[in-house]
Amino acid sequence: MELPHDGGRRRWSTGRQLAAAGAAAAGLAVLTTALVPVRDSLSLASIVLIYLTAVVIVAATGGLRLALAAAVASDVLVNFFYVPPFHTLTAENRDLVITLAVYVVVATTVSVAVDLAARQRAAAARSGVEAALLARITEAPLEERPLSAVLEHVRDTFGMTGAALLERDSEGERPVAIVGETPSADPTLSAPAGEHLRLVAYGPALFAADQRFLTLLATAAARALQAERLAAQAARARELTEIDKLRAALLAAVGHDLRTPLAGIKACVSSLREPDLELTDAQQAELLATVDASADKMNDLVENLLALSRLQAGALSVHPRATAVDEITAAALLHTPPPPGRTLDIDVPDDLPPAWADPGLLERVIANLVANALQAGPPGRPVHVHARQEGSVIHLQVTDHGPGVPADQRERIFAPFQRLDDHTTDHGLGLGLAIARGFTEAMNGALIPTDTPGGGLTMTLTLPTAP
């Protein structure tokens, strides 16, 4: 879609103007050559009307200046060839002089009218194209109107090779968005786009650009830039809000989870160091076991927090390779022994193809899933760990027979510090499933919760097989 670049006037190059003038002169010459032999059979009025028709054609095709020149030239031709005495520029009576004068006035008036009508048609066409283009730009919501699309409209509308929006700061102008050709020091088109902003375009030189319409497009580009920046600020605000929520939850949860094992360690160590307190060997062993368990609890807490921070910062290192699922499962369960009265039902065949995963991350995922299932399941019901192959993927399922999770609450269990229907901190910070999903997705896998038949929750870990 291109617009006239001259506000409705027909602006031609010098070569094209000379070609049009030559065509008009040739047309008058041919017309004169055809009429001179039959001038005795035609009245002067008929000849004048024929030449007037030619002038109108020149006005419609060549513009006002060429039409005025054709009107004067045709008046001279009529006087020279058709007004007695022939082949002179004089007239034998006053009526003929009036006829020639009126012809020039009429030809000039008609030329002006024809040129004005052509300009109005061009202006109407240009206005229609402008309206269509602006409607296309503004029909989308402001937040969905990319700056690059506006610059593409500028480039295509004016036939340029590139367009850019420049912003001025203390160090000068710099492009904030570019489409097509890289900006140079001398743009073909330029229009202010608001405070410290300027729209520029690069390409072939134009005789006269439509500066008004270019300014409208520049304003649209400035608004698109403002919308993009507001959207970025809103996204950043949402991100900061989530970070604040996470920080508040972290402080609330860590305050208890760190304080509890620290208090236990402090109490046990104080008892062991009390010189006046006589402790049996069994009592000392029990205190030392409490210190060891509390230290393990703190270690797990710190590891979970560090893992969560790496996930949220995008700094998690993943090194996938062919990994034997049965070996990793055995290692994970070795570090996650079931509590007294709880059992595990393990069915992970050793002939499964290797999965394409990071062994360390996969071990952590399985350990977290099993620990969560052991906490959720009731005593006397085993936690099932089964694995199978389906095509080019491996599914590992960890199934418990606990209360389960409603379908509309399943995404919440993957959020940090979430323990559904649990108002205590006996089971830690609730980071296990959040870390499990983060690690799984980092390995290009998936972790999907579903209902266990008969009640409970089944977590299905899906990983691709090794190539």
Q: What does the block give as tokens for 150?
A: 């506006």
Considering its fold, how many domains does the chain have in total?
Answer: 4
| Residue 1 resides in a domain | no
- Domain identity same for 178 and 191: yes
Question: What is the band of 106 on the pLDDT scale with cuts at 50, 70, 90?
Answer: confident
Tens-digit pLDDT profile for residues 355-388: 999 998 898 889 889 988 888 888 888 999 999 9
Tokens 């062993």 -> residue: 285
End position of a domain, from candidates 118, 137, 156: 137
Q: What does the block give as tokens for 266?
A: 């402090």
| Residue 246 resides in a domain | no
The pLDDT of residue 413 is 78
| Residue 455 resides in a domain | yes
Q: What does the block give as tokens for 449?
A: 């919760």
Going by C-alpha positions, the residue among 381, 373, 441, 445 that lies closest to residue 413 is 373
The pLDDT of residue 203 is 82
Going by C-alpha positions, the residue among 447, 434, 329 that lies closest to residue 393 is 447
Cis peptide before 467 (omega within 30 of 0): no
- Domain identity same for 330 and 454: yes
Residue 157 CB neighbours (<10 A): 21
Q: How much of the chain, in percent, has pLDDT values that exceed 90?
A: 13
pTM of the complete model beyond 0.85: no
Contact 374, 338 (CB under 8 A): yes
The pLDDT of residue 464 is 94
* Strands, E assignment, 270-392: 321-323, 344-347, 355-357, 383-390
Write down the number of H helices and E strands in the chain: 10, 11
- Domain identity same for 460 and 328: yes
CATH of the domain at 149: 3.30.450.40
- Domain identity same for 214 and 161: yes
| Residue 365 resides in a domain | yes
Residue 55 and residue 65: Cα distance in Å, rounded? 11
- Domain identity same for 118 and 214: no
Going by C-alpha positions, the residue among 380, 394, 388, 373 that lies closest to residue 452 is 373
| Residue 248 resides in a domain | no
| Residue 5 resides in a domain | no
Question: 384 - beta bridge partners?
Answer: 345, 399
CATH of the domain at 371: 3.30.565.10
Residue 271 and residue 115: Cα distance in Å, rounded? 108
Tens-digit pLDDT profile for residues 245-280: 656 655 655 665 677 788 888 888 888 888 888 888
- Domain identity same for 436 and 303: no
Q: What is the radius of gyration, based on Cα positions, of the chain?
A: 44
Question: 451 - beta bridge partners?
Answer: 457
Q: What does the block give as tokens for 306?
A: 């560090």
Range with the poorest average pLDDT among 18-22, 228-232, 399-403: 18-22
- Domain identity same for 350 and 334: yes
Tens-digit pLDDT profile for residues 82-97: 888 888 887 777 777 7
Question: What is the span of the domain harbouring residue 165?
Answer: 142-236
| Residue 8 resides in a domain | no
> Is pLDDT of 167 > 50?
yes
Going by C-alpha positions, the residue among 211, 190, 218 that lies closest to residue 202 is 190
Residue 166 sits at φ, ψ, to 5 deg, of -105, 145
DSSP of 177-188, one letter per residue?
EEEESPP-SS-S
Range with the poorest average pLDDT among 9-18, 220-229, 362-371, 387-396: 9-18
The pLDDT of residue 5 is 44
- Domain identity same for 232 and 269: no
- Domain identity same for 263 and 334: no
Q: What does the block give as tokens for 314?
A: 């995008």
Q: Which residues contact 142 (CB under 8 A, 6 or more apart)?
A: 223, 224, 227
The secondary structure of the chain in percent helix, strand, coil, rounded to multiples of 5, reads 55, 15, 30
- Domain identity same for 347 and 455: yes
End position of a domain, from candidates 268, 283, 313: 313
Residue 44 CB neighbours (<10 A): 17
Q: What does the block give as tokens for 431?
A: 């980071």
- Domain identity same for 332 and 458: yes
Strands 162-169, 172-180: pairing is antiparallel
- Domain identity same for 106 and 200: no
> Is pLDDT of 349 > 90?
yes
Contact 271, 288 (CB under 8 A): no
Contact 368, 376 (CB under 8 A): no
| Mean pLDDT, the chain, whole residue set | 78
User: Averaging pLDDT over each range in 155-169, 170-184, 330-344, 356-370, which range is the top one?
Assistant: 356-370
The one-letter amino acid code at 304 reads N
End position of a domain, from candidates 236, 269, 301: 236
Tens-digit pLDDT profile for residues 33-78: 888 888 888 888 888 888 888 888 887 777 777 878 888 888 888 8
| Residue 333 resides in a domain | yes
Residue 209 and residue 218: Cα distance in Å, rounded? 14
Give the residue with greater pLDDT, 350 vs 23: 350
